[in-house]
Amino acid sequence: MFMHDIIIVGGGLAGLRAALAAGGADAAVISRVHPLRSHSVAAQGGINAALGKTDRWEDHAVDTVKGSDYLADQDAVEVLCRDAPARVIEMERWGTLFSRTDEGHISQRPFGGAGFPRTAYAEDRTGHALLHTMYEQALKSGIKFYEEWLVTRLVLKTPYLNTGTNNGRCSGVVGYNIATGQVEGFLAKAVIFATGGYGRIYERSTNSIINTGFGCAVAYRSGAALEDMEFVQFHPTTLYGTNILITEGARGEEGMLKNKNGERFMERYSPHLLDLAPRDIVARAIQTEINEGRGFEGGYVHLDLTHLGAQKIKERLPGIRQISMDFANIDPIREPIPVQPGQHYSMGGIASNKECETSIPGFFAAGECSCISVHGANRLGGNSLLETIVFGKIAGENAVKYSKTSEFEVPDSLERSVLEESARISGLLNKTEGEPFFNIRDSLKAIMDEKVGIFRDEQKLTTALENIRELQMRYKNVFVRNKGSVFNQELVNAIELEGMLDIAETICIGALARKESRGSHYRIDFRERDDANWLRHTLVSYTRNGPRIEYKPVNITRYEPKRREY
């Protein structure tokens, strides 16, 4: 058994920022991979903050609330935007090498849905620059790391799989050591989840392979509600063939989208912001062009950067150029990049307030796994990196405060949880026949791509939900061929698959119930936003009898919902 005042699960930007904020306390980070392999490292285009002389955090908040299609909680958005300049400057002081203007200020580029060039960047490798800085700071401050441990369960005072009615305090986690196969308990006074998004339940996704949403699933099974899961962001421009992200920064630098007739089609969909309309709008526009026969064969359009010139592309978008050359054999200096929309970001997640508290005392969430909700129905590019460092800090500070008022629990429930998890995992290992996990996983991804994508309707969603429930039945028969205990990735995948199915189910349930179109959730059978009935957050909780759905109001401070036009 291990013991720490504060356990942080996740070594990405949110987790590391929380660990730094937990400073003086005894804090440890558990991560499924080495922290520098977290998906944060892949972020490209930049991070938003009102740093400009004529920009104001209030304007950033207006853009964010409008971008969210008015579903974001406005009190939380105010925290995000007000704190942004201080957090970005802090990263700079800690050592992040941001790109610079000729005068030596942090350079900022225009991004989708923003009324000001507000996105600070380090070429097109911003996540890389930020995560390395944050990791250096974490090493310097002596934070303890448990690398390559998969957390499979929260330890609660009340029994596991509770009904959501009595959320006992969280007093630790159970981890599976991927390197050795050992199952261990971690006793803590407070636990923070910063476990990232769930993009990989889709096939066409820009996300790292590890972004299975397993952290959200662990929280869900332990009684924490998941919020607004139906809002899945599809990025307009992912590389045709591999779906590697082509940053919005490429359009921020004046790249243009064109259909097969060479037409700049965004003029028809967003006459003012054109290619820099918010992502939900641009993704739908591209998909409409493809569906109506104006895309190229195979289903893509062109992102044209050729007019930017070699120098600008090499200076501002070197990563994009490299990706295009390596994965599509195309040099964007000379040829347009073939792009199509792909899953990119999880707006939904573990329901949390702006103090990062969840419904379980002692259990906090921050970063992409949380739904605080600052992104509402559609996240603006550059706001997610920001969310990790603003709310990572708050989660760390509040976990410290909480830990000062709580004691370590007597480890009874921890021991019981460890025994149960060991039994569950060895049960999976000892099974001698059944269905391999990848059959079920690949079917899940195909269902999500086809039926729970950019354009949704009742029939597709109903079928998707039925199909997912069939897969849940098949999962009971899942079996792993590799019986080893050292780096058994097949076993890890099989464990996570159960969580992926849970997450997919909550997305479908939320999407089926929400009979309106808002942000990324577009129903062709209910094309309008319906504030009278649907200006509210979806909450889905796990119960033994299946998911339970509830709603809660949106926090509105000063931005009255309006028609969203760009």
Which positions touch ligand FAD (CB under 6 A)?
A: 9-15, 30-33, 35, 38-40, 42-47, 126-127, 149-151, 194-197, 206-207, 210-211, 214-215, 218, 245, 345, 367-369, 381-385, 388
- So which residues are the catalytic ones? 279
Q: How far is the CB of 473 from ligand FAD (least distance, A)?
A: 24
Q: How far is the CB of 162 from ligand FAD (least distance, A)?
A: 19
Which C-beta is closer to ligand FAD: that of 152 or that of 403? 152
Residue 253, phi then psi, degrees to nearest 5 = -90, 15
Q: How far is the CB of 500 from ligand FAD (least distance, A)?
A: 12
Which C-beta is closer to ligand FAD: that of 138 or that of 461? 138
Q: How far is the CB of 150 from ligand FAD (least distance, A)?
A: 5
Which C-beta is closer to ligand FAD: that of 300 or that of 391? 391
Q: Is the dihedral of CA 384, 343, 99, 137 positive or negative?
A: positive
What angle do the packed helices 126-140 and 383-405 form, to 10 degrees?
20
Of the candidates 173, 153, 158, 157, which has an alpha carbon nearest to the alpha carbon of residue 220? 153
For every residue of 71-85, which 3-state class applies, written as one string? CCCHHHHHHHHHHHH
**For residues 411 and 1, is the Cβ–Cβ distance under 8 A?**
yes
Which C-beta is closer to ligand FAD: that of 114 or that of 461? 114
Residue 53, phi then psi, degrees to nearest 5 = -55, -40
Which C-beta is closer to ligand FAD: that of 46 or that of 341? 46
What angle do the packed helices 57-67 and 74-94 form, to 10 degrees?
120
CA 564 to CA 65: how far, in whole Å?
10
CA 418 to CA 411: how far, in whole Å?
10
Which C-beta is closer to ligand FAD: that of 13 or that of 303? 13
Query: CA-CA distances (angstroms) from residue 409 to 24, 166, 406?
Result: 21, 17, 9
CA 147 to CA 9: how far, in whole Å?
10
Q: How far is the CB of 564 from ligand FAD (least distance, A)?
A: 21
CA 259 to CA 507: how far, in whole Å?
31
Q: How far is the CB of 194 from ligand FAD (least distance, A)?
A: 5
**For residues 4 and 149, is the Cβ–Cβ distance under 8 A?**
no
Q: How far is the CB of 14 from ligand FAD (least distance, A)?
A: 3
Listed in sequence order, the residues at least 6 apart from 265 whose beta carbon sits closer than 8 Å to its beta carbon are 257, 258, 259, 285, 289, 294, 301
| Burial class of 356 by CB neighbour count within 10 A (0 to 12, 13 to 18, 19+) | buried
Of the candidates 17, 20, 7, which has an alpha carbon nearest to the alpha carbon of residue 402? 7
| Burial class of 547 by CB neighbour count within 10 A (0 to 12, 13 to 18, 19+) | middle
Tokens of 364: 């906090």
DSSP 104: S
CA 323 to CA 527: how far, in whole Å?
36
Residue 37, phi then psi, degrees to nearest 5 = -95, 5
Q: How far is the CB of 208 from ligand FAD (least distance, A)?
A: 7
Q: Among all chains, which residue has been given the structure tokens 């919005």? A: 248
At CA 300, angle to CA 295 and CA 303, rounded to 5?
A: 100
Q: How far is the CB of 192 from ligand FAD (least distance, A)?
A: 11
Of the candidates 378, 298, 392, 393, which has an alpha carbon nearest to the alpha carbon of residue 345? 378
Which C-beta is closer to ligand FAD: that of 350 or that of 465? 350
Which C-beta is closer to ligand FAD: that of 275 or that of 516? 275
Which C-beta is closer to ligand FAD: that of 35 or that of 453? 35
| Burial class of 432 by CB neighbour count within 10 A (0 to 12, 13 to 18, 19+) | exposed
